[in-house]
Amino acid sequence: MADGGGAVLELTGIARDFNGVRALDGVDLAVAPGRVSCVLGDNGAGKSTLIAIMSGLIRPSAGEYRVDGAPVRFRSPREARARGIATVYQDLAMVPLMPVWRNFFLGSEPRTGPFRALDVRRMRRVADAETRRLGVALPDVDAPAATLSGGQRQVVAIARAVYFGARVLILDEPTAALGVRQSGIVLRYVRAARDAGVAVVLVTHNPHHAHLVGDRFTVLARGRVELDAARAEVDAADLAHHMSGGAELDTLRHELGGAPPAAPGSEGAADAPGGGDAR
């Protein structure tokens, strides 16, 4: 996938400036069906800007964005969704007091009959069937979304995106606010979406979660690609190393290792100005 072969979505040389500040600089990314492409980085690395570009919220200042090999210039997220690119944000775009089935179809409710009433029966049936297809049996699709766990809400959001034709599913920090068990639930359904043939982009700051499900990894650091590697080439420790600075940390470690600070009471400390009584 390094050369973009078979990719649904491709970014080449993507850059984005905000009032003279370069948030992204020369970013390449290729996303293929049935694969999980992980984008990692610390705070300020450029992950949110990259999500905004892929989802059609903003345009890049430079570079090329291609879908199915053809250049595109999305003017809105609606245009991106029309091409099968769906983004699930951290807030999940759910109304807590509405039932699960209503949230599943929020903004795309099917209607029936001469008076165009909501087709509630269909919405209940589909919401239940689609979440079960990902391997989750919700206790009650009539229950308010607020009664679901964080992991269950993520699964509903993923199932909703897949049902409405997502070919590329962009997940914005899906495990950020979850515990270990709930994170495991979400990661299982990330794999389920991949196995259903969806191209998944998992954006996260957690290298351990990424390595559990990822097929390829792109690490951003201050808007640039710090690492681009296949699963067989790295482990979670490598990802964490590059996220935290990589080469810069190695240089700093070498510099500090070459001149370690003197321990209190050592010969070096005694030679300080004022003798061993230096403070």
CA pair distance 104, 78, nearest whole angstrom: 17
The pTM (predicted TM-score) of the whole model is: 0.81
Domain assignment present for residue 274? The answer is: no
Q: What pLDDT does residue 250 have?
A: 67
Q: What pLDDT does residue 189 have?
A: 87
Domain assignment present for residue 112? The answer is: yes
CATH number of the domain enclosing 112:
3.40.50.300
Full domain range(s) for residue 167: 9-257
Residue 51's CB: how many other CB atoms inside 10 A?
A: 20
Which H helix or E strand runs over 10?
strand 9-18
Q: What pLDDT does residue 151 have?
A: 84
Per-residue pLDDT of the chain (279 residues; tens, 9 = 90+): 444 458 999 999 999 999 889 999 999 999 999 999 999 998 889 999 999 999 999 999 999 999 999 999 999 999 999 999 999 987 767 889 999 999 999 888 899 888 888 899 999 999 999 888 877 778 899 999 999 888 888 889 888 998 998 999 999 999 887 888 888 888 988 998 999 899 999 999 999 999 999 999 999 999 999 999 999 999 999 998 888 776 666 666 667 875 444 444 544 444 444 444 433
Contact assessment for residue 168 and residue 31, using Cβ atoms and an 8 Å cutoff: yes
Within 13 A of 250's CA, how many CA atoms are on the CB side?
Answer: 6
Q: What pLDDT does residue 256 have?
A: 80
Q: What pLDDT does residue 277 have?
A: 43
Domain assignment present for residue 137? The answer is: yes
Q: What pLDDT does residue 247 have?
A: 61
Domains contained in the chain, number: 1
Domain assignment present for residue 267? The answer is: no
Task: DSSP for 132-196, please give it.
Answer: HHTT---S-TTSBGGGS-HHHHHHHHHHHHHHTT-SEEEEESTTTT--HHHHHHHHHHHHHHHHT
